[in-house]
Amino acid sequence: MLRMAQALAVVFAFSALIMADQVTLKNGDHLTGTVVKSDGKTLSFKTDALGSVDIDWSAIEKLSSDSPVFVDQASTKKTYNGKLSSVDGTLEVQPATGATISISQSDVAALRSADEQKAFELSQHPGLWQGWTAAANVGFALTGGNSQTENLAISFNALRVGMHDKLKLYANTVYATDNNPGVTQSVTANSDQGGARYDHDVSPSIFGFAAADFQADALQDLNLRSILGGGLGWHAIKNSNTTLDLLAGVNYTHESYSASTEAGPPIVAVPAQSNNLIGLTFGDDFSHKLGKSTVLTQNFYFYPDLTNTGEYRGTFNAGTVTKISKRFGWQNSFGDIYVSDPPAGTKKNDVVFTTGLNIALTAPPK
């Protein structure tokens, strides 16, 4: 009975070895496990004994898989699916039906297991509610004693990137009060912004865009400014560490200001006003990774007014997010909105600086 159990154990162990994917390295090492994925430079291989290991593609002597694997060929830009075996630097892909495809190992752009292929296809063609990454920034300051002030800054950003398109949403609000003893309580900041931009590639370097931006600022007597626009953009830089998009287009702006008074003497009543403007849009959108934990972002938009020539508006934003953990980071942001011809009694610039906790609302892409 003992010998039979030992024999069965040997048979099961041998069967597991036969059924497993296998890698033989040029130094003679042999690994059994499961092919996960490869980018053509490094093979991710999962083993029972060592867990997931990354193997330099040039160090692989032989590779075989018991389960079908998806293979991207660089020269033909085609994807094949089948069991793998390699002979003398050539990868043989055996589909379930049809002839074997031979691909030079140097011509392999990527390998993916069935699970990795599903994730890859989802990332390339996400549904409307899929593929989103989002984060919220929260900053709060409270003072007491000789000064009594309250400051609150909240912002939200969401991004969905597809194979040929990108959708970006944002919103932020800043509210502050001054409650110092002996001084009339006053609101020192009350601003809200939000908007969206959709980009769609028409070529590897050129894209079309449509955008909608909205702003309200109580201290500037601005009830609502709506900017609807679109145009073309150019991916001036696009790599894993740095992106720079340059944009140009047209926009329609509607803005509404409430009635107010201009401090004197004498005190002057400023009537409510509403403007409808046609203008141009020029801008840039920049992102750069500073090391492994910090991302720098910057954008600038310039809106020359075609309705009232010589007048213009501009917005500038810059910020950093430094990762503390998978879910939390620290953010700093600076923003400036400039209007060349604001209503009487209001200033041309609105400048905001915020700092606080950044909270990732979705897991970052792998």
DSSP 117-172: HHHHHHHHS--TTSSEEEEEEEEEEEE-TT--EEEEEEEEEEEEE-SSEEEEEEEE
Compute the distance between CA of residue 189 and CA of residue 183 in angstroms, rounded to an integer: 17
Q: What is the pLDDT of residue 12?
A: 40
Sequence ranges of the domains in the chain? 2-124, 132-360
| Beta bridge pairs of residue 295 | 289, 321
What pTM was computed for the model?
Answer: 0.66
Which pLDDT score is estimated for 13?
Answer: 43
Classified by CATH at the fold level, domain 132-360 comes out as Porin (2.40.160)
Tens-digit pLDDT string for the chain (366 aa): 545 545 444 434 444 444 589 998 889 888 899 999 988 888 899 988 788 889 998 888 888 998 899 999 989 889 999 998 887 788 899 998 888 899 988 888 899 998 888 888 777 666 666 778 889 988 877 666 666 778 888 899 998 887 788 899 999 898 888 877 666 777 777 889 999 999 999 998 999 999 999 999 887 788 999 999 999 999 999 888 899 999 999 999 999 988 876 655 666 677 788 989 999 999 999 999 998 899 999 999 999 999 988 899 999 999 999 999 888 999 998 888 898 988 776 778 888 888 889 998 865 444
Query: Who contacts 237 (Cβ-Cβ below 8 Å, separation ≥6)?
Result: 243, 244
The answer to whether 362 touches 169, Cβ cutoff 8 Å, is no
Q: Residue 115: enclosing H or E segment and its boundaries?
A: helix 114-124
**The pLDDT of residue 2:** 47
* Closest C-alpha among 31, 32, 44 to residue 110: 44
* pLDDT at position 267: 64
